[in-house]
Amino acid sequence: MEKTTTKKTAKYYRDIFTSGNISTAISVLPEVIKKFGNKRWSTSKHNDRLYLKNYTEFEWNHQIEGFFLTDKGKLCADIYWQGDSTDGSTSEYVNDLIYGKTIPAEHEWLGDRTYYTHSDLRISREEFENAIRAIGKFLAPDAIKARKAAAERAEKSDKVYEHIDAKKKDLDRWEMEGFWNGRIAVQKVLENDKTLIDKPLNELFAIADKVWENNNKSDYSLRGGWYNGEKKYNLAY
């Protein structure tokens, strides 16, 4: 009898995370991280993190933001927390969260009294399972499509800045002031109109060149004098 192989598509994994057994979901999570996640560090050898902040719930003083693999392949949860005067993050092994866990409070003395760095982080079994189930939403077709589009826009944006950065070759230190004013103006244009990045790359280069030329000037010129307040960029293209 001929053996059939299961094609491990996004739908295959999505079904496990939305309606399958939690233990099964945890067992395939490393595969999902490597296939659909991203790299935590530039030196990472493969995708080792799944960022889920948009898909999990904030629980009073903390939120499970995602899952990652250590260098030794251990599966961990990323946990964001808010304290009295600051916020931060910690991590726990997934196997330690299956039945819920309370991470003890941390505190510090800040001159006048003791402040909680963070109070107890009470992660319930239900909260942990909901974070695992949220991976099904992460793998939904619309979510995958949106992330792909965002990655393509980010790549195009990087190419625009690389195009502008090529202009600083051989500039002396006096000319660099104008270069950076021009580059900042390009950044402002891209940030002000989020639809620009959807234009073809050659059009983006032309827009960036025009804006950069408009603002390739000294601080004195953009302010209209030494003490005339903020620089006035010309964002026309």
**Three-state helix/strand/coil letters over 27-58:** HHHHHHHHHHCECCCCCCCCCCEEECCCCCCC
Q: Which long-range contacts (CB under 8 A, 24 or more apart) does 137-140 make?
A: 137/55, 138/36, 138/50, 138/52, 138/55, 139/10, 139/11, 139/13, 139/14, 139/17, 139/32, 139/36, 140/14
For CA atoms 216, 220, 223, 229, give the dihedral sign.
positive
Q: Tell me, what's the pLDDT at 4?
A: 62
Q: Using CA atoms, how far apart are residues 151 and 161, in angstroms rounded to an integer?
A: 15
How many other CB atoms sit within 10 Å of the CB of residue 204? 20
Among residues 181, 161, 165, 179, which one has the least CA distance to residue 230?
Answer: 181
- Would you say 63 and 80 are in contact if contact means Cβ atoms under 8 Å apart? yes
Among residues 169, 175, 172, 178, which one has the least CA distance to residue 215?
Answer: 178
E-strand ranges in the chain read 49-51, 62-69, 75-82, 87-93, 101-103, 106-109, 114-118, 121-123
- Would you say 88 and 79 are in contact if contact means Cβ atoms under 8 Å apart? no
Tens of pLDDT along the chain (237 residues)? 555 678 899 999 999 999 989 999 999 999 999 999 999 988 888 999 999 999 999 999 999 999 999 999 999 999 999 988 889 999 999 999 999 999 999 988 888 888 888 999 999 999 999 999 999 999 999 999 999 999 999 999 999 999 999 999 999 999 999 999 999 999 999 999 999 999 999 999 999 999 999 999 999 999 988 777 899 999 999
